[in-house]
């Protein structure tokens, strides 16, 4: 709440002076850096020409990007089709599609316990269920909150920040905070008992655990999507509503024919971002339930992590195969949504 | 579900309540509902953090108590002559019905041996049900000091600061250079490069964990903060955000600088970057958020305690079965303090920044 308090005049002048000094020092360092780099860049420019500098500027990004993202994407295929517990590629025997076959070796695809890798099947079904419920709930609650914040309210900036605060908390902290509240002797059970109920094993019952994983991730991220949706709402010109009002449209009608269509592009951004994020759910659950009880809250990334890093015998091939499946589904999901946007734009 | 509200002439239902603008000087049901929603929001968003803050001051006994209490209570003690340790104080209902404040020496079964601190010679035996602990609200920092004996807070904090700071500078530099190139130069392959970078929006680091780990191992960056900092520095979000913003900078500015003899490097640093400041600020906010809270990748790269970041350290701390909840609570609060502090100061800029520039 950075409301306009009037500070002591003396403090202002000291603060200004400090700011000035800092600014001057910062500029000096910056100028030194610019001059130093110009010493290298200037001859370079003479060598490659102005147009060639385009390549020079994009090069550092491409280097990091190529080495740490593109290259691993390719080597991931090598891991997928090789076996053994060795990390180094030249010591891994070729096994064909064995890893992928193992992941999908199921008698009945709807029953995880009939699968050879039943944990993977569970991780996939858990993730699918999580993604659907979490994204739906996230968009619903974020939209509702954005609509509330878009009304004429006092201290809108403050309330916007209130919902944003959990976004800044780390997933580990979020997981621990809620584990503490939902544990057997925690706050929520105390409230239940105080109102005459019985204790509930929120963390020991599989369905409750899944439910709370969804709730917690919505709690921790909704502020971000609310912010985006609110910005979308505020960019809708208000004279549209006035015109609709004059034409005798009621609020429901103007919501349906002005707010929703004009908010669609923003909604799509929110949908894509929240989907990509939901598919990758990991760290908050890792601290919250650790995948339990049993394998009730194990998700794909944790399956990859368990096989590639946590278990004593490293199954890099299996982990990479699961990564491949996940990357594939992410690409399909995103393309499907972009397609959706394409058809939307036509109408 | 649609109910006619008193103030709402023809405006009905949930949608009506949400989208209607307030009429001057009238407070309708809709406004009441709005503020109820917002107040519940405050409780839900801040409540859990305040609860864990309060819990972190509690003694181990108080932490495991059910039902829990909001404030951290601690039993009062008294130093009594002849006893080394301070003795816990109780209000005891004596046989004659009077209540006296006594100190407990020891408890034997259902009987407690108490003494009056004023006259410590005489031992009074009472039934344990006849005594009530004397409690006071005390914000004890014991959990913090004890927790920090094994949770190396300052070391983790320093590592997190180094990672966040260096990574953010690197991210801003590398991505703004790329964005400048992709928005202000014409060359072969430009669109292909942009498309390839964009397409990896869908392929985050967690999807390529194993091969990326191999790479780090071969470079020798295990347990090196560089291994955490560098791989995520070229982010498609950053390139996209900055490029879109730089497209709005008029080319004439750059052309006239060229005529004045400025080098491309100077044009980038002294003309384009200052103009792209709002977008850079948003990317900086994102980068700080990502890096400070990052967990999976640091956990894989860093396995030695002295290079842990705060998040990795906290997770390892809570995973240690020897560690009790009261200590975990205190260390969780320590971990969330820095970002809360920064947010408290900058919240206005963070939220308006993301809202106005971040998602164009």
Q: Tens of pLDDT along chain A (347 residues)?
A: 444 444 555 566 787 888 888 888 888 888 888 888 888 888 888 888 888 889 999 999 999 999 998 899 889 988 889 888 888 888 888 888 888 888 888 887 777 778 888 889 999 999 999 999 999 999 999 999 999 998 888 888 888 889 999 999 999 999 999 999 999 889 999 999 999 889 999 999 999 999 999 999 999 999 999 999 998 998 888 888 888 888 888 878 888 888 889 999 889 889 988 988 899 899 999 999 988 898 899 999 999 999 989 888 888 989 999 999 988 888 888 788 777 766 554 33
CB contact (8 A) between residue A58 and residue B206: no
Q: Nearest by CB to B52, from A41, A50, A180: name it.
A: A180
A304 closest CA partner among B117, B212, B273: B212
DSSP β-ladder status, B99-108 and B135-137? unpaired
Question: Residue A132, preceding bond cis, omega within 30 degrees?
Answer: no
Question: How many residues belong to chain A?
Answer: 347
| Tens digit of each residue's pLDDT, chain B (360 residues) | 334 434 444 445 555 555 555 455 566 788 889 999 999 999 999 999 999 999 999 988 888 888 888 888 888 888 887 788 888 888 888 878 788 888 888 888 888 888 888 877 788 888 888 888 888 888 888 889 988 988 999 999 999 999 999 999 999 999 999 999 999 999 888 999 998 888 877 777 777 899 999 999 999 999 999 999 999 899 988 999 999 999 999 999 999 999 998 888 889 988 999 999 989 999 998 999 999 999 999 999 999 999 999 999 999 999 887 778 999 999 999 999 999 998 888 888 888 888 776 554
Question: Hey, what CATH class is A98-346 in?
Answer: mainly alpha
Cβ-based neighbour number of residue B208 at 10 Å: 28
State which residue of chain A sits closest to B227, comparing Cα positions: A68
Architecture of the domain spanning B77-133: Roll (2.30)
User: In 3D, which of A254, A67, A289 has the Cα closest to residue A174?
Assistant: A289
Phi/psi of residue B4, nearest 5 degrees: -75, 120
Q: Are B230 and A144 an interchain contact pair (Cβ–Cβ within 8 Å)?
A: no
Neighbours of A337 (CB within 10 A): 16
Helices within chain B (DSSP H only):
13-19, 29-55, 60-63, 142-150, 153-184, 190-199, 209-219, 225-229, 236-246, 251-259, 264-266, 273-275, 277-293, 296-301, 310-319, 325-353
Query: CA B235 to CA B287: how far, in whole Å?
Result: 9
Nearest neighbour of B211 by CB, restricted to A72, A157, A167? A72
Closest Cα in chain B to A54 = B181
CB pairs under 8 A between A and B: 321
Report yes or no: B204 at the A interface, CB cutoff 8 Å: yes
Q: Is B131 helix (H, G, I), strand (E, B) or coil?
A: strand
* Token couple for B235: 């982010």
CATH number belonging to domain B144-358? 1.10.3720.10
3-state secondary structure of B91: strand
User: Are A323 and B20 a contacting pair at CB < 8 A?
Assistant: no
Give how far A21 is from chain B: nearest CA, Å: 20
Give the nearest chain B residue to A170 (CA atoms): B293
* CB proximity B201 to A under 8 Å: yes
Query: How big is chain A by its Cα radius of gyration, in Å?
Result: 27
Q: B313 with B152: CB under 8 angstroms?
A: yes
Closest residue to A37, CB basis, from B209, B265, B314:
B265
Q: Is B309 on the interface with A (CB under 8 A)?
A: no
Instruction: Give dist(CA A198, CA B168) in Å, integer.
Output: 49
* Among A8, A46, A75, CA closest to A316: A75
Domain ranges across chain A: 9-80, 98-346
Phi-psi region of B261 (alpha: psi -120 to 50; beta: other; left: phi over 0): left
pLDDT of residue A346: 36
Alpha carbon B86 to its chain centroid, in Å, reads: 38
E strand spans, chain A:
none
User: Measured between CB atoms, which of A51, A68, A334 is closest to B185?
Assistant: A51
Interface subset of B 212-271, CB within 8 angstroms of A: 212-215, 217, 230-234, 239, 258, 263-266, 268-270
Task: State whether residue A10 is helix, strand or coil.
Answer: helix
A72/B177 CB distance under 8 A: no
Q: Is B287 on the interface with A (CB under 8 A)?
A: no
* Residue B244, φ and ψ in degrees, nearest 5: -60, -40
For B114, the 3-state DSSP assignment is strand
Region of residue B182 (left: phi > 0; alpha: psi -120 to 50; beta: else)? alpha
Token digits of residue A294: 């049993």
Contact yes or no for B52/A175 (Cβ under 8 A): no
DSSP secondary structure letters along A52-118 = HHHHHHHHHHHHHHIIIIIHHHHHHHHHHTB-SS-SSGGG--B-TTHHHHHHT-BS-TT-GGGBTTH
Mean per-residue pLDDT of chain A: 87
pLDDT one-digit tens code per residue, A201-260: 999 999 999 999 999 999 999 999 999 999 899 888 888 888 888 888 887 888 888 888
Element (H, E) at A43: helix A9-65
The closest CB to that of B207, out of A38, A144, A323, belongs to A323
- Dist CA B160 CA B339 (whole Å): 11
Neighbour-count burial of A284, counting CB atoms closer than 10 A to its CB (0-12 exposed, 13-18 middle, 19+ buried): buried
B25 vs A: CB within 8 A: no
Q: Which residues in chain A have their CB less than 8 angstroms from residue B264's CB?
A: 41, 45, 50, 53, 57
Instruction: Domain ranges for chain B, please list them.
Output: 13-55, 77-133, 144-358
Contact A89 B20 (CB under 8 A): no
Nearest to A235 by CA among B356, B117, B298: B356
Instruction: At B111, give phi and psi (nearest 5°).
Output: -115, 140
Instruction: State the Cα–Cα distance between residues B357 and B360, nearest whole angstrom.
Output: 6
Cα gap B43→A141, rounded to integer Å? 16
| Cβ-defined contact of A152 to B295 (cutoff 8 Å) | no
- The C-alpha angle with vertex B144 and arms to B139 and B147, in degrees rounded to 5, equals 145
Among partner residues B64, B202, B230, which is closest to A185 by beta-carbon distance?
Answer: B64
Which of A54, A73, A193 is facing B203, going by the closest CB pair? A73
A51: which chain B residues are within 8 Å (Cβ-Cβ)?
185-187
Tell me the pairing of strands B135-137 and B77-78.
Answer: unpaired
Strand pairing report for B111-116 and B73-75: unpaired
Interatomic CA distance for residues A300 and A270, integer angstroms = 22
């Amino acid at each position: 709440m950075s409301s306009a308090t009037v500070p002591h005049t003396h403090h202002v002048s000291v603060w200004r002076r400090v700011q000035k000094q800092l600014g001057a020092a910062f500029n000096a360092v910056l100028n030194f850096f610019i001059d130093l780099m110009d010493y290298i860049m200037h001859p370079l420019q003479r060598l490659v020409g102005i147009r060639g500098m385009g390549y020079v500027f994009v090069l550092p990004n491409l280097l990091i990007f190529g080495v740490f993202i593109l290259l691993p994407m390719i080597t991931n295929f090598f891991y997928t089709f090789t076996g053994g517990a060795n990390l180094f590629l030249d010591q891994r025997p070729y096994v064909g599609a064995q890893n992928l076959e193992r992941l999908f070796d199921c008698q009945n695809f709807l029953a995880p316990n009939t699968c050879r890798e039943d944990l993977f099947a569970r991780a996939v079904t858990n993730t699918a269920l999580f993604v659907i419920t979490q994204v739906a709930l996230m968009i619903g609650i974020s939209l509702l909150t954005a609509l509330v914040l878009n009304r004429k309210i006092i201290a809108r900036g403050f309330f916007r920040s209130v919902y944003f605060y959990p976004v800044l908390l780390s997933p580990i902290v979020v997981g621990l905070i809620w584990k503490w509240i939902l544990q057997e002797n925690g706050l929520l059970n105390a409230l239940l008992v105080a109102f005459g109920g019985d204790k509930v094993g929120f963390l020991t019952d599989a369905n409750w655990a899944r439910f709370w994983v969804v709730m917690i991730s919505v709690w921790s991220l909704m502020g971000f999507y609310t912010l985006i949706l609110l910005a979308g709402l505020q960019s809708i010109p208000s004279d549209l509503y006035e015109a609709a009002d004059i034409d005798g449209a009621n609020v429901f009608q103007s919501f349906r024919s002005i707010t929703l269509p004009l908010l669609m592009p923003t909604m799509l951004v929110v949908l894509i971002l929240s989907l990509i994020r939901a598919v990758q759910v990991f760290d908050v659950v890792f601290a919250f339930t650790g995948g339990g009880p049993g394998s009730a809250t194990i998700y794909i990334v944790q399956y990859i992590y368990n096989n590639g890093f946590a278990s004593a015998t490293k199954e890099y091939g299996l982990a990479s195969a699961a990564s491949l499946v996940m990357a594939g589904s992410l690409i399909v999901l995103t393309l499907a949504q972009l397609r959706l946007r394409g058809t939307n734009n036509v109408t | 579900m649609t109910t006619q509200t008193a103030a709402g002439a023809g405006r009905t239902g949930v949608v009506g309540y949400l989208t209607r603008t307030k009429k001057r000087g009238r407070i309708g049901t809709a406004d009441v509902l709005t503020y109820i929603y917002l107040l519940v929001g405050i409780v839900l968003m801040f409540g859990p953090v305040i609860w864990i803050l309060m819990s972190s001051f509690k003694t181990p006994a108080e932490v495991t108590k059910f039902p829990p209490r909001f404030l951290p209570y601690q039993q009062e003690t008294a130093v009594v002559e002849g006893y080394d340790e301070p003795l816990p104080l109780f209000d005891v209902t004596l046989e004659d019905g009077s209540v006296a404040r006594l100190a407990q020496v020891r408890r034997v079964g259902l009987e407690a041996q108490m003494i009056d601190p004023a006259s410590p010679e005489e031992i009074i035996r009472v039934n344990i049900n006849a005594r009530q602990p004397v409690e006071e609200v005390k914000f004890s920092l014991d959990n913090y000091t004890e927790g920090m004996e094994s949770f190396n807070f300052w070391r983790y904090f320093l590592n997190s600061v180094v990672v966040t700071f260096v990574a953010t500078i690197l991210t801003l530099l590398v991505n703004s250079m790329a964005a400048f190139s992709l928005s202000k130069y014409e060359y072969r392959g430009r669109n292909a490069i942009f498309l390839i970078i964009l397409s990896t929006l869908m392929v985050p680091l967690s999807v390529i964990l194993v091969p990326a780990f191999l790479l780090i191992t071969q470079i020798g960056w295990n347990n090196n903060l560089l291994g955490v900092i560098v791989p995520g520095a070229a982010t498609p979000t950053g390139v996209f955000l900055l490029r879109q913003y730089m497209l709005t900078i008029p080319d004439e500015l750059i052309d006239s600088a060229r005529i004045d003899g400025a080098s491309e490097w100077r044009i980038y640093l002294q003309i384009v970057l200052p103009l792209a400041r709002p977008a850079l600020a948003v990317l900086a906010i994102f980068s700080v958020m990502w890096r400070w809270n990052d967990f999976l990748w640091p956990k894989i790269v860093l396995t030695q305690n002295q290079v842990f970041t705060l998040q990795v350290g906290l997770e390892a701390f809570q995973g240690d079965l020897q560690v009790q909840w009261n200590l975990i609570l205190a260390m969780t609060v320590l971990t969330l303090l820095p970002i809360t502090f920064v947010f408290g100061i900058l919240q206005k800029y963070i939220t308006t920044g993301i809202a106005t520039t971040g998602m164009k």
